[in-house]
Amino acid sequence: MFLLSLAGVSEIRVGLWPIFYFWCCMANRVSDVITDLLQPVVEGLGYEFVGLEYLSQGARSILRIYIDQEDGITLEDCTRVSHQVSGVLEVEDPIRGEYALEVSSPGVDRPLFVREHYERFLGERALIKTSLPIDGQRKFTGHLVQLQDDDLIIDIGGKQVTLSLDQIDKARLAPLLAK
């Protein structure tokens, strides 16, 4: 529980979840604005804009952009996109303060950002974190089974669990790697 003092109000008691939820919503809004700005730039260069993560950490903030293409991503591809995106970010200035820009391939543990990603990888194993607990749990690992409207059905050891896409904070493929 936090105690906030505002002008004209003696005190307001605020629980941790409302502050956490507010912070997550603000971070998502920033990510949405940056996505709208950068997706056309990346796609104009001939790459798939997989998505982005903006990790606001004060002086150590990170803007990570994931790109892909059919033949895979090289260091030269990342450099090319980084150069173009840097120019747009410098002109538009959507992020306050300093941050590090990273351009990366999605890798084998590919992040899932939009509905189309879940559809594309049905049958695959994924690690999913929700913004708020569902039956006391925020982390789920299972196979992506089906999409019904805005709900994702995952299979966790033979038990099917339904998650609303709106509840998903982060998701990424979690392939079982051969030893």
Q: Highest-confidence range of 7-16, 25-34, 50-59, 97-106, by mean pLDDT?
A: 97-106
What average pLDDT is seen over the chain?
A: 86
Signed CA dihedral, 50, 105, 96, 45: sign only: negative
Question: Average of pLDDT values for 93-114?
Answer: 94
What region does 47 belong to: left with phi over 0, alpha with psi -120 to 50, or beta? Answer: beta
Query: Does residue 87 lie within any of the structural domains?
Result: yes
Q: Is the pLDDT of residue 64 over 60?
A: yes
- pLDDT at position 15, please? 46
Strand 159-164, strand 9-14: pairing: unpaired
Same-domain pairing of 120 and 159: yes
Query: Does residue 122 lie within any of the structural domains?
Result: yes
| CB contact at 8 A, 145 and 158 | no
Q: Of the residues 70, 104, 138, which one is the last residue of a structural domain?
A: 104
Signed CA dihedral, 93, 63, 60, 19: sign only: positive
Same-domain pairing of 25 and 95: yes
Same-domain pairing of 87 and 165: no
Counting every residue, how long is the chain?
179
Same-domain pairing of 122 and 97: no
Write the CATH number for 128. Answer: 2.30.30.180
- pLDDT at position 177, please? 66
| CB contact at 8 A, 141 and 176 | no
- pLDDT at position 13, please? 42
Same-domain pairing of 79 and 131: no
Same-domain pairing of 40 and 94: yes
Write the CATH number for 73. Answer: 3.30.300.70
Question: Average of pLDDT values for 13-19?
Answer: 43
- pLDDT at position 59, please? 79
Q: Is the pLDDT of residue 144 over 80?
A: yes
- pLDDT at position 133, please? 94
Same-domain pairing of 27 and 100: yes
- Domain range for 131 is 115-173
Same-domain pairing of 99 and 24: yes
Q: CA 71 from chain center: how many Å? A: 24
Give me the number of domains the chain comprises.
2
Same-domain pairing of 123 and 83: no
Q: Of the residues 80, 104, 128, which one is the last residue of a structural domain?
A: 104
| CB contact at 8 A, 116 and 150 | no
Q: Is the pLDDT of residue 28 over 90?
A: no
Q: Given pLDDT bands bounded at 50, 70 and 90, which one contains residue 178?
A: low
Same-domain pairing of 37 and 91: yes
Q: Of the residues 55, 74, 104, which one is the last residue of a structural domain?
A: 104
51-to-29, 54, 161, 175 alpha-carbon distances in Å:
14, 10, 25, 20
Same-domain pairing of 121 and 99: no
Question: Average of pLDDT values for 93-122?
Answer: 94
Would you call 20 helix, strand, or coil by DSSP? helix
